[in-house]
Chain A
Amino acid sequence: MFLLKVVFLSIKHHLLRFLLAIIGLAISITSLVYLMSFGEGARSLIQKNVRAFNLQILVLPPGQALSAQPILPRQLADSVRALGVGKVYAVLRLPYTGGFPPKAVGVVFGKDFSSSMHFLADYSIGKGRDLTDSTRREAVVGSVMARTAGWKIGDTVFIGTGKYVIVGIAKAGSPIVDNAIIVPLNLLMEDMGTERILAVAVAPPPERSEEVVKLLKKSFPNYSVQTSEDLMRLARSFVAIGDAIRFGLSSIALFVTAVFLFAIMAITVQERRWEFSVLRALGATRWFIFRLVVVQAVAVSLIGWAFGVLLGWGLVEVSGKVMVRVFGLDLLEMSAGILLLSLSVAIVVGFVGSVLPAVSAMRINVREGLGR
C-alpha cells in the first residue's frame, strides 16, 4: 500500500509529463474499445438473429448461406414436409424502407400458412389480431416499426406493388420482431413477382435433430443443409477476421503509446537518479528500484486505461443510439471480454514501455547518482 502511495504521489508530482502519457493511453484504449465493440456487437447480433427465428436447420441453395434473391422453388418446402422431419416453414423476406425521408427500416416476412409454427421466435400479438387468412391483404407490424412509421391499426402499408391493411401490432420482443412486417407468404410472392423462396426452415423435435440433418443431406444432395450452429460459426469466423484486423489497427496506436511512455519513463529515470541512489544507499535492492519504475508506468497505464474505457464506452453507447436511428440496429456492444482485453493491453503497454528504463534505473551507480 505504501509503495502504491509513493508511486501515485510521484505521478502527481510529475503530473504534466505523465498526463501526456495518460492522454496517449486513453486515446489508444478508446480506439481499441470502440473498434473491438464492432466485433462484439456483430457477434451478439448474429446470436440474437439466429435465436430470433424458430429454426434449427435451413435448406438453402447449393453452396450458399442466406442469399438476397429467392431462388428455391416453393415446392421444396412441401417435399421437405413430406419427409416428416418436424415443423417446416417456407422463408421469404424483403427489406423494407418507408417514409420520406426514409426512417422506418425493417424486414417484411412472409407468413407460411401451411406451417404449424411461426417462423419468428417470441412473436405474439400486442394489439389487434394476428393474420387469419392467406388470401387477405392484411399485415401485422412490429412495435418499433409501428412507432417510427407512425402506423396504427387500420392504416395501409405499401409493399412493392401490394397494399396491406394493418390488423395487429406485435408485442415488443427481439429486434427482429420489433422491426418486422408480416404478411401472407403467397401474397408477398405475388407482390415480389416471384414463384420462389429464400430457404426452407426446419424445426425437428430436439432429440431427432442430428438424424434429420443426415436425412435432409441425403434426400436433397443438390442443396446445402445448414444448422443454425453452422450459420453462427460461419458468421463468427467472418467477425473473427474483422476482429484481428481491427485489433491490428488499434495496436498501431498502442505501439506508438508504448514508445511514448518509454520516452517519458526514460526521462523520469534520468531525472530521478539521485532519488533511486538515495533509496539504494538506504537499503533498497535493485529489484525494488526496478519494481518502483515498472509499477509507476503500469499505474500510469491503468489511469489511462480507466479514462479510455469510460470514453470508449460512452462512444459505443452514443454511436449505438445513432446507429439504431439510422440503420435500425446496433452493431456496437461492450463486453467483459473487451474490458479484459483492453486491461491486459494497458498493462502490457505499461510494462513494455518501462522495462528498459527500469533496468537502467536499477543499474545506477549509487555514488555517481548521489553526486560526488
Chain B
Amino acid sequence: MKVLKAEGLKKVYGKKVKTVAVDGFSYEFMPGKSYAVVGPSGSGKTTLLYLLAGIEVPDVGRVIYGDIALFSMGDDGRARFRADHFAFVFQQFYLIPYLSALDNVSMGLYLKTGKTDPKRAREILKTLGITDPSKKPYEYSGGEQQRIAIARALITDPEVIFADEPTGNLDSKNSATIFKVLTGIAVEGRTVIVATHDLDLASTCDVVLHLKDGRLVNT
C-alpha cells in the first residue's frame, strides 16, 4: 500500500510581487480513498495538484510516494514516474484534437509503455459509455469528452489520479456522473484527488480538504 505524502509544501510565484500559492501543506493520501480539494478561487488547488504530481517544483518541502521522493528525480525522471504511477484529468478535457477518441486513449498507454492496446482502450471507453470511439473529440459532448479523458487516464492502470476541476465545464447531470466515476475508481484501490468548487459534489468523496490561501484549514 503506497501512501502519497506531502511534507511542508510551499510554492511562491512571481518575482517582484510574490504570491504564496501553497503554504506549508502537509498531508498523507491513502490508496482506496477519494479526496476532494475545495477552496475559493486562487486558494492554491491547482498548484497543490501540480506539486503532488511532480509537475511543479516546490520551493520548500517534499512529496514522497511509497518510498520515493519525487523531487530527488530530475524533470524527465518525474515524467516517467508520472507515466508509470499517476494520471491527470483536466477541466478543459485537453483531448488531442486531431486524434480519434480511441487514439487519444491509446496515447495515454503509449506514453507509459511505448505500445498501444486498442482492444483495451475500446473496453475502457465502453465501460465509460463511449460506444463509438472513432470520432474526433469535437464530435462528442462535453460530458463524453471528459469520460474519454478519464479513459485516457485509466488505461495506464494508474495508482493515483489527479483531477483539476473535472466538472468545471459540465452541467450538473454530467458532473454527477463524472464524480460517480471518479469515486468509483478509488474503490478499486486507487488514490483519487479532485480539486473542485462544488461542495455538493465534493461531499461525495471520502475526504474533503479545505484550502485557504494555500493552507489546509480543516478536513
Are A and B a genuine interacting pair, yes or no?
A: yes
Q: Which residues of A contact B82 (CB under 8 A)?
A: 281-283
CB of A283 within 8 A of CB of B46, answer: no
- Name, among A3, A12, A282, A285, the residue most crowded by chain B CB atoms within 10 Å (CB to CB): A282
A372 to B165, CA, bound (A): 12
B108 proximity list for chain A (CB < 8 A): 282
For B149-166 the 0/1 string (1 means CB < 8 A from A) is 000110010000000000
Give the residue among B84, B107, B116 with the most A Cβ atoms within 10 A: B107
* Set of chain B residues within 8 Å of A275, measured between Cβ atoms: 94, 96
Contact of A274 with B116 at beta-carbon distance under 8 Å, contacts A366-B55, A367-B56 already known? no
* Distance between Cα atoms of A5 and B115 in the complex (Å): 13
- Indicate the size class of the contact surface on chain A: 20 to 34
B76 within 8 A of A: yes
Measured CB to CB, the closest approach of chain B to A288, in angstroms, equals 7
Assess whether B111 is interfacial by the CB under 8 Å rule: yes
In the bound complex, CA of A278 to CA of B107 (Å): 11
| Chain A contacts with B in 240-279, Cβ cutoff 8 A | 274-275, 278-279
Q: Would you give the shortest CB distance from A291 to chain B, in whole angstroms? A: 12
Residue numbers in B under 8 Å from A372 (CB-CB)? 46
**Interface of A: prevailing SS:** helix
Residues on A with C-beta less than 8 A from B201 are none
CB contact under 8 A between A282 and B50, given known A288-B111, A366-B55: no
Report how far A288 CA is from B88 CA in the complex, Å. 18
- Chain B contacts for A366, CB-based, 8 A: 50, 55-56
In B61-105, which residues have CB < 8 Å from any A CB?
Answer: 75-76, 79-84, 86-88, 90, 92, 94, 96-99, 103
Q: Which of chain A's residues have a CB closer than 8 A to the CB of B112?
A: 283
What CA separation (Å) do A285 and B79 show in the bound complex? 6
Closest residue on chain A to residue B88 by CB atoms: A281
* Interfacial chain A residues near B81, Cβ < 8 Å: 283
> For chain A residues 112-146, which have a beta carbon within 8 Å of chain B?
none
Task: Assess whether A280 is in contact with B103, with CB atoms less than 8 Å apart.
Answer: no
B53 within 8 A of A: yes
Q: Across the interface, which residues of A come within 8 angstroms of B116, CB to CB?
A: 2
Minimum CB–CB distance for A239 against chain B, Å:
47
Given contacts A278-B94, A282-B82, contact A2 B110 (CB under 8 A): yes
B76 nearest in chain A by CB position: A285
Set of chain B residues within 8 Å of A13, measured between Cβ atoms = 97-98
Contact code string A206-249 (vs B, CB < 8 Å = 1, else 0): 00000000000000000000000000000000000000000000
Q: Which of B55, B97, B103, B115 contacts A281 (CB 8 A)?
A: B55
In the complex, what distance in Å separates the CA atom of A279 from the CA atom of B153? 12
Q: How far is the CA of A9 from the CA of B110 in the complex (A)?
A: 16
Q: Which one of B46, B84, B94 has the greatest number of beta carbons of chain A within 10 Å?
A: B94
Give the chain B neighbours of A281 by CB distance below 8 A: 53, 55, 82, 88, 90
Give bound CA distance, A281 to B164, whole Å: 12
- Within 8 Å CB of A286, what residues of B? 75-76, 79
User: Given A278-B90, A278-B94, A282-B87, are A6 and B99 neighbors across the interface (CB < 8 Å)?
Assistant: yes
A69 CB-CB contact with B under 8 Å:
no
Find residues 1-44 in chain A having any chain B CB closer than 8 Å to their own CB.
2-3, 5-6, 9-10, 12-13
Shortest Cβ-Cβ A-B pairs, 10 listed: A283-B83, A13-B98, A285-B76, A283-B82, A278-B94, A283-B111, A285-B79, A9-B98, A281-B88, A2-B116
Q: Chain A interface (Cβ within 8 Å of chain B)?
A: 2-3, 5-6, 9-10, 12-13, 274-275, 278-288, 366-367, 370-372
**B→A interface (CB under 8 Å):** 46, 50, 53, 55-56, 75-76, 79-84, 86-88, 90, 92, 94, 96-99, 103, 106-108, 110-112, 115-116, 152-153, 156
Could you show 18 A-B contacts with beta carbons less than 8 Å apart? A2-B103, A2-B107, A5-B103, A6-B99, A6-B103, A9-B99, A9-B103, A275-B94, A275-B96, A279-B111, A281-B90, A282-B82, A282-B87, A282-B152, A283-B111, A285-B79, A370-B90, A371-B92
